[in-house]
Amino acid sequence: MTYPATFLWGASTAPHQVEGNNVNSDWWAREGLMPGMEPSGDADDSYHRYREDIRLLAEAGLDSYRFGIEWARIEPRPGQFSRAELAHYRRMIDTCAEFGVTPVVTLHHFSSPRWFADEGGWLAEHATERFASYVTEATTILDGVEWVVTINEPNQMAMMIMLQEAMRTGSLDEWLSPTVQSEGDRTRIAASLPVPTPEFGLPFVAAHHAVRDIVRERTGAKVGWTVANGALTSTPGNEEKFREVLYNLEDLYLEAARGDDFIGVQSYSSQAVDANGLVPHPDHPDNTLVGTAYRPDALGMAVRHAAEVTGLPVLVTENGIATADDERRIQYTREALAHLESAIDDGIDVRGYLHWSLLDNYEWGHWGPTFGLIAVDRITFVRTPKPSLAWLGDVATAARSRTLEGRVR
């Protein structure tokens, strides 16, 4: 199909997952305390090698890179802002411009300063004030940035906080990572992950609403946040439970996006809801490395639902598959894009597709699941582009070519 001329084609990363040595963050502290969690360590050393990463993305034919600014680096102590770290992220923005890449900047992607967590994190009285202070400082380097994400997957963050509270009160024995890589973990976590109730989600809504106008007024960028979209479906007779789960897990956050400039959709698979709530993904040979079902059709479902609830343009900020088979990655992405095109044909306003992830990276406690378009040697940090990177770049190049041909005609 012919995509809009301004359609973004790219890939995404998160700072804690690729930069390495994020020593002031709450996630770094958690890695050293929780059994079964691998350390992030040097990660992909993208903190020093971001130029190469952006160059590889651009040379493949992609034109957009979503990356995060790490709060724990910018504000290592309350009220103490690092000019050097702000300058580092400005250099990343400038490097994108050098290679003709549109930056999509995320201000918070799961990890926070350790001091913020010690104060009580997102449930603390002054959480919104703390976040707004950081965002105000971050806007000083965002001149020329067109797309800003305030918070990544607040619904997943709410779930994590709910789990942390369960640990604090003794109703949960150990921290559960958002990703898994073993059959035992999959079974245990599928039975244990809660659907976050609004009390854990509303602090994020307040924080998002507090900063979106700050970003708009100080940068002129389009502002939104991203939601983990489960492409949920109801089992027969359980529509009431389905609506309850859907609201608590997604629609609370989608409704909070009304008034934003776009909604970020992050989709990987689909999941059913029965009388007890979310149904664990059944075991199947096609399941991904994190245990989810192979469901490329989920992207179209998620985009349609997010657009319907918010009334906003959609930016696909994450979509991908955890697999060691790169041909499988290409097949999944090809099918997902077909479903995305169907949604666009039906009138959904989609502004771009950003694949997760540019690099094989640290998946929140585990190194096993590989989502990347580029493999990274964890000893030498040598980057090896996979065939899927060239394939997606060719898709993007062909789409832009068709747009140009249409203009000539």
Task: For 163-198, write each residue's pLDDT tens digit.
Answer: 888 777 766 555 455 554 455 555 444 444 679 999
Element (H, E) at 243: helix 239-246
Residue 305 in tokens: 């639902």
Asked whether 184 and 192 are in contact (CB, 8 A), the reply is: no
Asked whether 207 and 132 are in contact (CB, 8 A), the reply is: yes
Average per-residue pLDDT for the chain: 93
- What's the pLDDT at 241? 97
Q: What is the pLDDT of residues 354-387, one digit of tens each?
A: 999 999 999 999 999 999 999 999 999 999 999 9
- What's the pLDDT at 188? 45
Neighbour-count burial of 42, counting CB atoms closer than 10 A to its CB (0-12 exposed, 13-18 middle, 19+ buried): middle
- What's the pLDDT at 37? 85
Give the integer Cα–Cα distance in Å for 62 and 46.
Answer: 18
pTM of the entire predicted model: 0.95
- What's the pLDDT at 240? 98
- What's the pLDDT at 406? 61
Handedness of CA 173, 174, 179, 181 (dihedral sign): negative
Q: In this model, does residue 247 exceed pLDDT 80?
A: yes
Which residue in the block uniquely carries the two structure tokens 């973004």?
A: 8
Q: What is the pLDDT of residues 142-165, one digit of tens each?
A: 999 999 999 999 999 999 898 888
- What's the pLDDT at 18? 98
Q: Give me the residues paired with residue 263 across strands.
A: 314
* Identified catalytic residue from 70, 153, 250, 318: 153
Which residue in the block uniquely carries the two structure tokens 């708009």?
A: 216
* Cα-to-chain-centroid distance, residue 164: 21
Q: What is the pLDDT of residues 202-226, one digit of tens each?
A: 999 999 999 999 999 999 999 999 9
Asked whether 249 and 195 are in contact (CB, 8 A), the reply is: yes
> What's the Rg (C-alpha) of the chain?
20
Return the SS3 of 121: helix
Active site residue 146: no
Give the integer Cα–Cα distance in Å for 287 and 350.
Answer: 28
Q: Give me the residues paired with residue 273 across strands.
A: 234, 278
Backbone angles phi, psi at 298, to 5 degrees: -60, -30
- What average pLDDT score do residues 22-48 get? 91
Neighbour-count burial of 100, counting CB atoms closer than 10 A to its CB (0-12 exposed, 13-18 middle, 19+ buried): exposed
